[in-house]
Every structure is written in C-alpha cells, then in structure tokens.
Amino acid sequence: MAVTTIRGRTRAVVLVLALIGIYVAVVLTYALGGRSDAPDDRAPAANGVLVYLDVDAVSGETFSLQTRVSVYPGANLLDAEGDLRDALNVEVTPAASADSLTFERGTRVGSQPVSLYVDGDIRHWPFDRYRASDVQVLVFSGTGAARRAVPVQVAVTDSVTSWAVDATSTDAGGGKTVDIRATRTDATIGFGIAMCVVLLVLPVCTLFVSIQTLRRRRQFLPPIVTWFAVTLFSVLPIRNLFPGSPPIGSWVDYTVVLWVVMGLAVSLALYITVWWQQGPKP
C-alpha cells in the first residue's frame, strides 16, 4: 500500500513539473518573440519617394494580405509648404484591390489600404505560411506628357500580431519588386498545439473513468453522465480558441477534433451501458 502511495505521489509531482515546464516555455517563447522597438530612421532621397507597405492583417481564407501604403516624398518633390509640386501616382501590382494611389498637385500625401494576393493554404494551420511574390511598386510624378518615373525605396513593416513578416527586394524597371512572406510566430504555433493537447486530454480522462466503471473497479455515479455531456459540448468552444480560427475541414479537424469527439461519445456510450447494467432498477 505504501509503495502504491509513493508511486502515485511521484506521478503527481512529475505531472506538476511537466506543466510548469510547459508554462515557462510558452511564456519565454512569447516574451522573446516580441516586436523590436528599434527606431526607424529611413528617409526618402531628395528626388525620390519612400513607400511603406505595412502589413496589418493576413487572411488565409481569402488568400489576401492587407497592407497600408504610406508615401513619403523627397524634398525636391515638395514646395516650401510641404505640398506636392506635381501630382504623384503610386502603383502597387499585383493587388486584389485598387492598385493605384493618386495624390493631386498642391496636396499632401497620406496612406491608403491595399490588398495583395498571397499563395498559401490555411488547411495546414497552424503551420500555414503565405507569400506575396513579385509585388512591384512604381511611382510617377506629373501627368500627361510631363509624367515621369520617380526613384522609389520600399520598406515592408508589420503591425499584425501573431505573425512574423519578412521581405526581400530587388530593383525592377525603375521601381521595386518585393517578395513578402508571413508565417505564424512560434508562440502562436505553441498556443495552437497546447489547445490541441487540451482537447486530447478530455477523451483520455472520460474513457478512463467509463472503462474503470465498466470493469466494476469504481462505483457507478449517475451525476457523472452530466459531466460527460458537458465535456462533449466543450469541444467546439475550445476549438474556437485556435489562433486564426482555421475553417472546418483543416487537418487538425481530421487528426484531433474528430477523434476527440468520437472518444467522448464512446465514453458517454460506455457509461450509459454501465447505467443499464448497474443502475438502480424499479
């Protein structure tokens, strides 16, 4: 009896230490993966334009990358009051939304949203990744016969949480061509996996209880039927906590959620069988 007690305590200690280790690992991953606060000291060339593509949303369901385009003209393109000397036209291609941003002469430039096409597959959640290839930014000053290309510098930034965004750029015909890649952060992937583990624990617990009761190693308790039902209906709310809300039919549904639901349903059926065999009879 003493040996059994010691083994039980050892298992409990190991389980608690494992949970503490997982907790510390998740917190450290989140903390170390934080956004850098380094200042951005980039400035446009005197006769050129600095264009920021700030990624603020990633949508795997619509295969799009939501960006906000901010334009900063050089000093030679502005008058003494900071207004444009000539009309300025910014073209971003290929884009899923309006790809041309026009700022009239005598006005000040601002920022506008632009949606970019991306390649990726959300069904691979949480390991899905997306890429917007050959995104070209061209800037023109003036209109009609006076229209001319302006040297452009492109900077890709991100204001989106749970995603890591990086980009590479090359010169392309007077403009800039960039490849933008977005992947989920390690902390987000860890959170998603942790939610899957939580789901997997549910049928393990319920199957253990129902099987031990069926083998008459534990007493049949009618209120536990309610616990089984509540556990079964908790699957969907837990799944809704998955970062990015992957659509129904993702691989996680076939490899985790489906079997969790089946395990819980089997547990409930086994316990009902025990109720039929061992429950009070009239």
Q: 281: Cβ–Cβ under 8 A, 6 or more apart, which residues?
A: none
Asked if residue 123 and residue 16 are part of one domain, the reply reads: no
Same domain, yes or no: 234 and 174: no
Pairing assessment for the beta strands 64-73 and 111-117 based on DSSP bridges: antiparallel
Number of structural domains (the chain) is: 3
Q: Would 269 be classed as within a structural domain?
A: yes
Residue 29: C-alpha distances to residues 23, 134, 158, 162, 181 (Å): 10, 32, 19, 12, 21
Q: How far apart are CA 144 and CA 177, in angstroms?
A: 25
Q: Would you say residue 39 lies in a domain? A: no
Question: What's this model's pTM, rounded to 2 decimal places?
Answer: 0.76
Does residue 78 share a domain with residue 117? yes
Q: How many CB atoms lie within 10 A of CB 150?
A: 24
Query: pLDDT digits over 66-118, tens only?
Result: 888 888 888 888 888 888 888 888 888 887 766 578 888 888 888 888 888 88
Residue 185's SS3 state is coil
Q: Has residue 151 been placed in a domain?
A: yes
Looking at the fold, whether 16 and 58 belong to one and the same domain comes out as no
Tokens 């907790």 appear where? Answer: 23
Domain range for 271 is: 188-278
Q: In one letter, which amino acid is 94?
A: P
Q: Which two tokens stand for residue 5?
A: 């007690």
Of 56, 137, 50, 128, which Cα lies nearest the Cα of 101? 137
DSSP label at 75? Answer: G
Per-residue confidence (pLDDT) for residue 261, from 0 to 100: 92
Are residues 107 and 78 both part of a single domain?
A: yes
Of the listed ranges 11-15, 123-127, 132-136, 156-160, the least confidently predicted one is: 11-15
Q: Is residue 38 part of a domain?
A: no
Taking residues 8-12, what's their average pLDDT? 72
Token couple for 83: 């207004």
Query: What tens digit of pLDDT does each residue of 110-150 get?
Result: 888 888 888 988 888 888 899 988 888 888 888 877 788 88
Q: Do 118 and 177 reside in the same domain of the chain?
A: yes
Backbone angles phi, psi at 178, to 5 degrees: -125, 145
